[in-house]
Amino acid sequence: MRYCIIILTHLIAFTSFGQIKDRRAKLEIKGRVNEISVAPDEKIWLVNAMGNAYYTESIHSNWHHKKPFFKSKDDFDNPHFDRISFFNKDTAILTGYISVSQSEYKKNGFYSTQDGGQTWKLLDYGGDSWIYDVFVDKRGYAWMGGSSGDIYFSKDYGQNWEKLNSPYNSSSRIHSIFMLNTNEGISGALENYIYYTKNNWKSSKKIPTPFDQKKYENEGGYSDNRIEKIIQWDNYIVVNQSGNIFYTDANEINWRKFSVKIIDFELDQDSKKLLAITDSLNIVSLSTPTKFYNISNEPLKQFPLDIQVVNQSLYIISHNYEIYKVESKGVSRVIPYTTDIKIRKPLLVKQSKKIKWGIEGNQIYLAEGHKDEWYRENVVDFEISDFELINDSTAILWDGVNNNYIYSLNDHNAAIYFPNNPLTDFLTSPIKSFSIFSGSQGCYHSVEHEVNYKRINDSIFTTSTFSAIHYPDKEPDTTFENQVNIHLLFRTLSTINRNPTAIPTLRDFQISSADKKNYLALVDEKLKSKETDFFSVKKKVNKEFYYSVLSMLDTLNSSIIEKILNKHEGGWSTTSNWFTIQIINQINDTLNIGRNYYISTLPWNLPWVYHYKGLNFNCYDIAFSRFINSCIPDDFMDKEVFDNSFLILEIADYLYNQPKK
């Protein structure tokens, strides 16, 4: 099967060939989307947490923002939409966290349409729940449930509802429901429960979950061993429990893993095949739990947010809200665009002599002269965080993570770019001063530490004070008398200039016996305090394993250091942290060096991100980190990361978190 990337940009954006400029705006989705909703006529809808609704007639059509069909005082008063469930192309219900009356806190509402979404009517289903899942069929039957634990049933396309005899309550909370017919079905809850029924929930029977059968350990941070999704596929039951996917024979419950590791699945009701996405983001079709074949030749570009099967086609929405359609004739991948509005001014804009360039996300825009009439030049497969113009037709793009790319309007292609002697201009003038900052800011705190060094002669930088600002009060400066060698800093920067992105080996860190002793003390301290990273994949710590890591260091694969230093944070926080350096030369050129993070930084604050004259690059030079460590007092923020014991701990965490073979 071929893999078609249908973004259309490549067809109409190349103005050098005299083609029409692509002036479609990227659809602005305001609010979190949880699911993709596809009607039987393949009209696609997206609804979100802000009460917004967006739709397109088909995957290749123009998108529209549906005019709000509810009254609201402000965005905080909007209903929370989760999904649209279609009985047929005209009739559907919209559910989520919805009140019939805005004056009441009770969540008893849902919306109904009988004209394909042109108009919506707010109705009361008689309960009070955040609806987590809905199952509907072509005959007009519907089942839904959520935070109250109740199951509600309709047999007239959602116009009237009755409460069934649910085995769940507001503590267990039903989270997924699947019905084979009007009587037989299965459901799962957030609190490690699975029940099935043979009489439409007049009665039900509990079956053991994968967690009950000890098929996995809860190491992913889940506190409730939740049933994310459950379906019945032929004679099998398939479940996603806390991110772990298993199947079992429906008549004899013994949970097993599939022959291929999958991260999401959906049943094709027509072909009775199970469509799934693997951990490598390939799309597969399973006829049995052990027999499968790849549907596409290439993996998805992003992790799936939600999937749905309609007319034997698999629809996927990714985390960056791109839409995929997987069908027998190929795979379509589209970005939702609209002609209802113009392209707004991009977040990053730079002017060359004849053309204005704009960047937002992975989109490259152009505008002629000094006008703001933007059109799309191209879409690349990475997010662009900064860029520098070389001339009218060439730019260097920085992905904000690891790589620079050179992009040309001549061939409309982004190719990896390696900076060549990027600090030469800066180093032609002597360094006169530098400053080091380390800070943290969150909802209830703001802290920054600062030291400043000035040149006093041809060989020495000196400082005399250490500033610490703690919001709302500024602590008095404390004495910190220190001198560092000018030539050492110059030599270090010169080495970086010659090979700016060189990766150190483990030997370069010069791990000593004292480092190993400090590492063991660090492990003991963390075990004693039971300290864990909230975003860590693994929660339980094996003391014997962490102690044994020291014996592995001499035989460690060299690629592991590079993987550790290029590790990205797995979480996000309202607190932001930074460690930055500003180096100024005699002609007042400024070299900015820094590292930003949310939860935790990496050993020796590597890699540093260098920014000079519009160019960015990662630097892994351990000598520079050692120099910075020599410039800061012991109580400076993040001082502890400039230590090999922290490096060994990161190595141990990496090895411990590797999948068990």
Alpha-carbon Rg for the chain, nearest whole angstrom, is 29
Q: How long is the chain? A: 661
Residue 557 shares a structural domain with residue 596? yes
Label residue 272 by pLDDT band (50, 70, 90): very high
Which contiguous run of DSSP H or E holds residue 10? helix 9-12
Label residue 70 by pLDDT band (50, 70, 90): confident
50-76: b or e for each residue (b if 16 or more CB lie within 10 Å)? bbbbbbbeebeeebebeeebbeeeeee
Tell me how many degrees the CA angle 46-47-50 measures, rounded to the nearest 5: 140
Residue 358 shares a structural domain with residue 436? no
9 neighbors 304 (Cβ within 8 angstroms): no
Residue 413 shares a structural domain with residue 430? no
Label residue 76 by pLDDT band (50, 70, 90): low
Strand intervals (E) in 311-445: 313-318, 323-327, 330-334, 337-338, 348-351, 355-360, 363-368, 375-379, 386-391, 394-398, 404-408, 413-417, 431-441
Residue 223 predicted with pLDDT over 90: no
Q: Which residue from 34, 83, 36, 42 is spatially nearest to 310, judged by alpha carbons?
A: 42
Label residue 297 by pLDDT band (50, 70, 90): confident
Task: Please provide the average confidence, as pLDDT, over all residues in the chain.
Answer: 91
Q: What are the tokens at 414? A: 């982004």
Residue 591 shares a structural domain with residue 559? yes
Residue 413 shares a structural domain with residue 429? no
Give the whole-number percent of the chain exceeding pLDDT 90.
Answer: 78
Strand intervals (E) in 114-226: 121-124, 131-136, 142-146, 151-154, 162-163, 174-179, 185-189, 194-197, 205-207
Determine, yes or no, domain membership for 539: yes
Determine, yes or no, domain membership for 15: no
Residue 18 predicted with pLDDT over 50: no
Residue 86 predicted with pLDDT over 80: yes
The arrangement of strands across the sheet holding 121-124 comes to 80-86, 92-97, 109-113, 121-124
Q: What is the mean pLDDT of residues 585-594?
A: 97
How far is CA 471 from its chain centroid?
Answer: 31
Residue 524 shares a structural domain with residue 551? yes
Determine, yes or no, domain membership for 205: no
Residue 610 predicted with pLDDT over 60: yes
Task: Report the pLDDT value the prediction gives residue 528, as an integer from 0 to 100.
Answer: 75
Label residue 7 by pLDDT band (50, 70, 90): very low
Residue 387 shares a structural domain with residue 477? no
Give the whole-number percent of the chain exceeding pLDDT 70.
Answer: 92
Q: Name 236's Cβ contacts closer than 8 Å, sequence gap at least 6.
A: 247, 248, 249, 250, 289
Residue 15 predicted with pLDDT over 60: no
Task: Report the pLDDT value the prediction gives residue 8, as an integer from 0 to 100.
Answer: 35
Residue 571 shares a structural domain with residue 536? yes
Q: Name 234's Cβ contacts closer than 8 Å, sequence gap at least 6.
A: 272
Label residue 659 by pLDDT band (50, 70, 90): confident
Q: What dihedral angle (degrees, nearest 10) is formed by the CA atoms of 499, 502, 505, 506?
A: 110
106 neighbors 93 (Cβ within 8 angstroms): no
How many beta carbons lie within 10 A of that of residue 647, not counting itself?
24
Residue 481 shares a structural domain with residue 627? yes
Determine, yes or no, domain membership for 410: yes
Residue 441 shares a structural domain with residue 475? yes
What is the distance between the alpha carbons of residues 82 and 96, in angstroms, rounded to a whole number? Answer: 5
Q: What is the mean pLDDT of residues 400-421?
A: 95
22 neighbors 376 (Cβ within 8 angstroms): yes
Residue 243 predicted with pLDDT over 50: yes
Structure confidence by residue, pLDDT tens digits, 308-333: 999 999 999 999 999 999 998 889 99
Tell me how many degrees the CA angle 548-552-553 measures, rounded to the nearest 5: 120
Structure confidence by residue, pLDDT tens digits, 489-516: 999 999 999 999 999 999 999 999 999 9
Q: Is the N-terminal amide bond of 607 cis, ω within 30° of 0? A: yes
**Which is more confident, 13 or 267?**
267
Q: What are the tokens at 428? A: 């032609």
Structure confidence by residue, pLDDT tens digits, 201-212: 999 999 999 999
Label residue 5 by pLDDT band (50, 70, 90): very low
Residue 410 shares a structural domain with residue 429? no
Residue 10 predicted with pLDDT over 60: no
Residue 39 predicted with pLDDT over 60: yes
Task: Report the pLDDT value the prediction gives residue 443, as an integer from 0 to 100.
Answer: 83
Q: Which residue from 192, 71, 75, 197 is spatially nearest to 135, judged by alpha carbons?
A: 197
Determine, yes or no, domain membership for 282: no
Task: Report the pLDDT value the prediction gives residue 405, as an integer from 0 to 100.
Answer: 98
Task: Report the pLDDT value the prediction gives residue 660, as an integer from 0 to 100.
Answer: 66
**444: containing domain:** 424-656
Task: Report the pLDDT value the prediction gives residue 470, as an integer from 0 to 100.
Answer: 76
Structure confidence by residue, pLDDT tens digits, 510-560: 999 999 999 999 998 887 765 554 444 445 667 899 999 999 998 998 899
Residue 457 shares a structural domain with residue 596? yes
Q: How many domains does the chain have?
A: 2
346 neighbors 363 (Cβ within 8 angstroms): yes
Determine, yes or no, domain membership for 61: no
Task: Report the pLDDT value the prediction gives residue 13, as an integer from 0 to 100.
Answer: 38
Question: 3-state DSSP: the chain helix, strand, coil percent, rounded to 5?
Answer: 15, 40, 45
Residue 4 predicted with pLDDT over 50: no
Name the residue type at position 511: I
Q: What is the mean pLDDT of residues 149-157?
A: 98
Task: Report the pLDDT value the prediction gives residue 129, as an integer from 0 to 100.
Answer: 97
* Domain C-terminal end among 395, 417, 439: 417
330 neighbors 59 (Cβ within 8 angstroms): no
Residue 383 predicted with pLDDT over 90: yes
Determine, yes or no, domain membership for 607: yes
* Domain C-terminal end among 394, 417, 440: 417
What is the distance between the alpha carbons of residues 577 and 593, in angstroms, rounded to a whole number? Answer: 14
174 three-class SS: strand
**Which is more confident, 485 or 19?**
485
Task: Report the pLDDT value the prediction gives residue 467, as an integer from 0 to 100.
Answer: 84
Q: What are the tokens at 55? A: 């739709």
Task: Report the pLDDT value the prediction gives residue 541, as an integer from 0 to 100.
Answer: 66
Q: What is the mean pLDDT of residues 612-627?
A: 96
Task: Report the pLDDT value the prediction gives residue 477, as an integer from 0 to 100.
Answer: 74
* Domain C-terminal end among 417, 435, 457: 417
Residue 126 predicted with pLDDT over 80: yes
Determine, yes or no, domain membership for 190: no
